[in-house]
Amino acid sequence: MDHDLYLSRIAEFVRLLSQEGLSVGTKEAEDACRALELTGFTERESVKAVLRTICAKSQAECSAFDRLFDAFFVSSEQKLANLKKAMEDQQELEKRRAEAAEELKKHSFLNADDDFIGGYAALPEEEKDRLRKFINKFRDNAERNPKLYEGFIRSVFMKSIMEQQLMMEDADLGVQETDPDLGLLFRDISQINDAEMPRAVAMIQRISRQINGELSARKNKSSSAGALDIKRTIRKGLETGGSLIRLKYKRKRPKHRRLVLLCDVSGSMIQFSEFALRFIKSMSDVSESSRVFLFSEETAEVDPFALQDMDQFVSYVRRTGLYGKGTDLGSALDRICAVKPPVLDQKTTLLIISDAKTVRLEDAQKSVIRAASLAGEIIWMNPIPQRKWEHLRSVRTMSVLCKMVPCSTLSELARECRKLALG
Amino acid sequence: MIIDPKELKQKLDEAGYIYDETLITTLVVSLALGRPLLIEGAAGVGKTEVAKVMAYALGRELVRLQCYEGLDESKSIYEWNYQKQLLSIQVGMGQSQPQSKTELTKSVFSEEYLLERPLLKSIRSEKPVVLLIDEIDKADEEFEAFLLEMLSELQLTIPEIGTVKAKSTPFVVLTSNRTRPLSEALRRRCAYLFINYPDIEKEVAIIKAKMPNVSDRLALAVAQAVHDLRENDNIMKKPSIAETLDWIAALEALGVPDLTPEAAGLTAGFILKNEEDIAQLDTGCGCAGHTHADGTPCEGHVHADGTPCEGHDGHHCHHHHN
């Protein structure tokens, strides 16, 4: 292949990497071309190694890079095979869309547009059967009174289509998991199974140690840098005949933060709450003087000694009688607001650990507003991935009322706990 | 600096460092582009060693900066010798014709009073050096910010003196165990290499390179066992290459010609470094937990308690070949 063409292909490839979220730009493209001029273009693996060295900046980026490189720089045979497969896939998709359009046309009240038809066509056959049964059940009603039923039936269809799309996104994320530790760090917490728990816990301990280390380093630094403490320096200088040999610096007064944790321990949330509490309890500065409340349908304040052994957390929750129940955030917040002497004040940060799925949503909103007026700040750690928030009414509503942060993976959870600890 | 890959391979061979093509390409590219090389990977996979062998291969001095929590510019770049400055001022005050304020300031903030730390040393050196910034993930984020100027512009700023430009270009190697994420800004300035645990063949080659007297059979058995341990999800602290070498050395010291379960049990402390992992070794099955490449369960090994294994399927094992 022509030399200039190669270079232009590399520029295109760097642009593709950038579009896929890798932090590359003109500098990388220039470096890649310079390096390839030097090492040559003849061996595919060598070109790959050169470009990876320059363009990928982490293990996760290396995985993404390899995937994109293999897709971009393909042999002519592979290209032909890919093209053939893409055409077959496209034909299959068109066929399914046509069938779906034909089927949905029968139900005029569904107002099926292109997106709707496309979404329905992608559904697995068993889901389509379920929807067919559902629509048959309500067809007479819908035809008799379309205004009353069309919105309802359409919403059931849309829910199925949306869930399918989210599942496809999750499956796509799973494909990229090549390194076990890295995978665990970036995987949805709800997907971490029992066998992986010890590794996850070890990872949390390691990250917490690091955060504690950074905290102590900050404290140490404040004693040897910053503004000079004239009084202490002169006093110390008296030991050396008035010469100010040893300088003393002003110490920053430690900022005491009071934290109130409200953890959702209903069935789906218990694992996430356990992880979040492990992080928070192992960060000495944050956990000091913090109070922890657990809630599902009812609320209970946790005895601080009960959380000393986090391995016993699930059994502790079972003993409190909160495990396996529904979620009532509103009453939990009301309970905290009503505690005497008051738990919340302007020096307190209220940390809510919940997926925002609750009964009596309107009441819960009012309670959040009330708690926000009492507490200095509310931070909401939500285990639902941020890309799904817009589809969930409760999350959309609550995220407007307080600072909601996505914590769907251990990596995100660690990042937020770090922010919390380091301020 | 441009280096011929063949020449580099020859030098690494001489240094007894086992490499693959990716490593060679990465080193050649980062040297050619004058980019710092950021190496990530688990502890004990040979990241620091890369800097050492590069110093040997390039015939340069190795300047090492070990990072730790709280490392700041006074420990890594420069520090004024305050006590010496103070004494100098006091001596000057006692003289009949004391220096003017400007002269005094100029004299006490001169190179005579400058304590050079590794980063400054590496760029002020007349001859180019290899600068190893080890375990950068242990330093604070603020320290990364100090590094940026040096890595991208090859210069450092000392407020009292001004900008110190590099007299020679050091080859910078940064290593990280990934205990915290590094900043995007730092990553962007570096070429990147991830070193994974070696496969069995490479580990055998490392063992033979470092300990030529070890029998092929023992080297292979140990490499296989270590590989199984690393694959085992129940083992919390995965053994590093250094621990593999320690283990072999321990077995050699005991005069053990082959890796029997008894020998493995006796020397477990050299390869596994916590009680839970060693307990796994005691309670688990023998090396037969894995399946062979053809899909058949392994039947050729012995349990830790000495009973022969009848084969397992579907899970990894952390024990050793008989």
Question: DSSP state, B137?
Answer: G
Has residue B304 been placed in a domain?
Answer: no
Within an 8 Å CB–CB cutoff, is residue B56 touching chain A? no
Q: Can you give the three-state secondary structure of B213-275, one letter per residue?
A: CCCHHHHHHHHHHHHHHHHCCCCCCCCCHHHHHHHHHHHHHCCCCCCCHHHHHHCHHHCCCCH
Residue B163 C-alpha from the chain's centroid: 31
Within an 8 Å CB–CB cutoff, is residue B70 touching chain A? yes
Residue A352 has which token pair?
């809510």
The partner residue sitting opposite B192, judged by closest CB among A53, A206, A217, is A53
Confidence of residue B175 (pLDDT cuts 50, 70, 90): very high
Has residue B302 been placed in a domain?
Answer: no
CB contact under 8 A, A53 and B233: no
Has residue A212 been placed in a domain?
Answer: no
From residue A217, give the alpha-carbon distance in Å to each of A159, A211, A417, A419, B182: 50, 10, 17, 16, 17
Asked whether residue A157 falls in the same domain as residue A36, the answer is no
Residues of chain B contacting residue A213, judged by C-beta atoms under 8 Å apart: 69, 138
- pLDDT number for residue B287: 44
Handedness of CA B302, B306, B309, B314 (dihedral sign): negative
Has residue A229 been placed in a domain?
Answer: no
Helices marked H in A297-376: 313-320, 329-338, 361-374
Has residue A238 been placed in a domain?
Answer: no
Position B233, amino acid: D
Helices marked H in A223-353: 230-237, 270-282, 284-287, 313-320, 329-338
Q: Is the pLDDT of residue A257 over 70?
A: no
Asked whether residue B135 falls in the same domain as residue B267, the answer is no
Q: Is the pLDDT of residue A186 over 70?
A: yes
Has residue B146 been placed in a domain?
Answer: yes
- pLDDT number for residue A27: 86
Mean pLDDT across chain B: 83
Residue A226 has which token pair?
């910053």
CB pairs under 8 A between A and B: 92
Q: Can you give the three-state secondary structure of B56-107, one letter per residue?
A: HHHCCCEEEEECCCCCCHHHHCEEECHHHHHHHHHHHHHCCCCCCHHHHHHH
- pLDDT number for residue B105: 82
Within an 8 Å CB–CB cutoff, is residue B20 touching chain A? no
Within an 8 Å CB–CB cutoff, is residue A44 touching chain B? no
Number of domains in chain A: 3
Cβ burial of A67 (10 Å; 0-12, 13-18, 19+) is middle
The partner residue sitting opposite B233, judged by closest CB among A31, A199, A220, is A199
B86: nearest CA partner in chain A: A245
CB contact under 8 A, B29 and A213: no
- pLDDT number for residue B54: 94
Residue B12 has which token pair?
């690494």
Asked whether residue B188 falls in the same domain as residue B266, the answer is no
CB contact under 8 A, A53 and B29: yes
CB contact under 8 A, B33 and A35: yes
Residues of chain B contacting residue A207, judged by C-beta atoms under 8 Å apart: 179-180
Asked whether residue B148 falls in the same domain as residue B220, the answer is no
Element (H, E) at A291: strand A291-295
Give B18-21 contacts, CB < 8 A, sequence gap 24+. B18/B198, B18/B202, B18/B205, B18/B206, B18/B209, B20/B202, B21/A45, B21/A46, B21/A49
The partner residue sitting opposite B29, judged by closest CB among A54, A57, A59, is A54
Has residue A225 been placed in a domain?
Answer: no
* B108 against B130, higher pLDDT: B130
Element (H, E) at B152: helix B141-153
Has residue B308 been placed in a domain?
Answer: no
- pLDDT number for residue A104: 79
- Read off the CATH number of the domain in which B181 is found: 3.40.50.300
Closest Cα in chain A, distance from residue B308 (Å)? 27
DSSP reduced 3-state for A101: helix
Cβ burial of A357 (10 Å; 0-12, 13-18, 19+) is middle
Q: Is the pLDDT of residue B290 over 50?
A: no
Interface probe, candidates A26, A42, A53, A193, chain B, greatest B C-beta count within 10 A: A53
Confidence of residue B282 (pLDDT cuts 50, 70, 90): low
Has residue B299 been placed in a domain?
Answer: no
Asked whether residue A322 falls in the same domain as residue A404, the answer is yes
State what percent of residues in chain A have pLDDT above 70. 87
Asked whether residue A48 falls in the same domain as residue A122, the answer is no
- Read off the CATH number of the domain in which A375 is found: 3.40.50.410
- pLDDT number for residue B312: 43
* B245 against A82, higher pLDDT: B245
State what percent of residues in chain B have pLDDT above 70. 87
Confidence of residue B172 (pLDDT cuts 50, 70, 90): very high
Asked whether residue A168 falls in the same domain as residue A261, the answer is no
Asked whether residue B17 falls in the same domain as residue B160, the answer is yes
State which of A21-25, A109-113, A255-259, B62-66 shows the largest mean pLDDT: B62-66
- pLDDT number for residue A54: 92
Asked whether residue B216 falls in the same domain as residue B122, the answer is no
Number of domains in chain B: 3
Asked whether residue A163 falls in the same domain as residue A113, the answer is yes
Has residue B306 been placed in a domain?
Answer: no
Residue A210 C-alpha from the chain's centroid: 21
From residue A299, give the alpha-carbon distance in Å to each of A20, A350, A375, A383, A418: 44, 15, 19, 20, 27
- pLDDT number for residue B38: 95
State pLDDT tens for residues A262-280. Answer: 888 887 788 888 888 887 7
Confidence of residue A322 (pLDDT cuts 50, 70, 90): confident
The mean pLDDT value for B146-163 works out to 86
Spatial separation of the C-alpha atoms in residues A370 and A331, rounded to whole Å: 12
Has residue A311 been placed in a domain?
Answer: yes
Asked whether residue B112 falls in the same domain as residue B137, the answer is no
Asked whether residue B214 falls in the same domain as residue B270, the answer is yes
- pLDDT number for residue B140: 80
Q: Domain ends where: B164, B195, B226?
A: B195
B139: nearest CA partner in chain A: A214
Closest Cα in chain B, distance from residue A418 (Å)? 10
- pLDDT number for residue B291: 47
The partner residue sitting opposite B192, judged by closest CB among A35, A57, A245, is A57
Interface subset of B 166-225, CB within 8 angstroms of A = 178-181, 184, 187-188, 190-194
Spatial separation of the C-alpha atoms in residues A54 and B29, rounded to whole Å: 8
Within an 8 Å CB–CB cutoff, is residue B91 touching chain A? no
Domain that holds residue A164: 102-175
Asked whether residue A14 falls in the same domain as residue A108, the answer is no
The partner residue sitting opposite B25, judged by closest CB among A39, A59, A206, is A39
Asked whether residue B145 falls in the same domain as residue B235, the answer is no
Spatial separation of the C-alpha atoms in residues B125 and B113, rounded to whole Å: 18
Has residue B126 been placed in a domain?
Answer: yes
Within an 8 Å CB–CB cutoff, is residue B233 touching chain A? yes
- pLDDT number for residue B193: 93
Confidence of residue B66 (pLDDT cuts 50, 70, 90): very high
Q: Domain ends where: A146, A175, A204?
A: A175
Within an 8 Å CB–CB cutoff, is residue B38 touching chain A? yes
Asked whether residue B100 falls in the same domain as residue B157, the answer is no
From residue A310, give the alpha-carbon distance in Å to each of A111, A264, A277, B225: 53, 16, 8, 33
Q: What is the ipTM of this complex?
A: 0.74
Question: DSSP state, B313?
Answer: -
Asked whether residue B27 falls in the same domain as residue B126, the answer is yes
Q: Domain ends where: B195, B220, B237?
A: B195
Q: Domain ends where: A150, A175, A200?
A: A175
Residues forming a β-bridge with A403: A379
Q: Domain ends where: A73, A93, A112?
A: A73
A262 — phi, psi (to 5°)? -120, 105
Q: What's the distance, Cα to Cα, between the start and end of chain B in Å?
A: 50
Asked whether residue B49 falls in the same domain as residue B132, the answer is yes
Spatial separation of the C-alpha atoms in residues B318 and A340, rounded to whole Å: 55
Q: Which of B250, B229, B314, B280 is nearest to B42 (CA)?
A: B229
Domain that holds residue B243: 200-289
Asked whether residue A58 falls in the same domain as residue A122, the answer is no
Has residue B311 been placed in a domain?
Answer: no
The partner residue sitting opposite B25, judged by closest CB among A50, A207, A243, is A50
Asked whether residue B154 falls in the same domain as residue B21, the answer is yes
Has residue A397 been placed in a domain?
Answer: yes
Confidence of residue B246 (pLDDT cuts 50, 70, 90): very high
State pLDDT tens for residues A94-152. Answer: 888 888 888 877 776 667 777 788 888 888 888 888 888 887 887 777 777 777 777 77
Q: Domain ends where: B195, B212, B231?
A: B195
CB contact under 8 A, B22 and A243: no
> In the sheet that A291-295 helps form, which strands lie side by side, from edge to edge?
A299-301, A291-295, A258-264, A348-353, A377-382, A403-406
Element (H, E) at B142: helix B141-153
The partner residue sitting opposite B30, judged by closest CB among A53, A245, A247, is A53
Closest Cα in chain B, distance from residue A57 (Å)? 5
Residues of chain B contacting residue A221, judged by C-beta atoms under 8 Å apart: 70, 72
Has residue A219 been placed in a domain?
Answer: no
Asked whether residue A297 falls in the same domain as residue A372, the answer is yes
Q: Is the pLDDT of residue B129 over 90?
A: yes
Asked whether residue A418 falls in the same domain as residue A296, the answer is yes
The partner residue sitting opposite B184, judged by closest CB among A23, A198, A202, is A23
Closest Cα in chain B, distance from residue A24 (Å)? 8
Has residue A299 been placed in a domain?
Answer: yes
Are B37 and B132 in contact by the 8 Å Cβ rule? The answer is no
Asked whether residue A314 falls in the same domain as residue A352, the answer is yes
Are B145 and B7 in contact by the 8 Å Cβ rule? The answer is no
Residue A364 has which token pair?
């819960």
Residues forming a β-bridge with B130: B62, B171
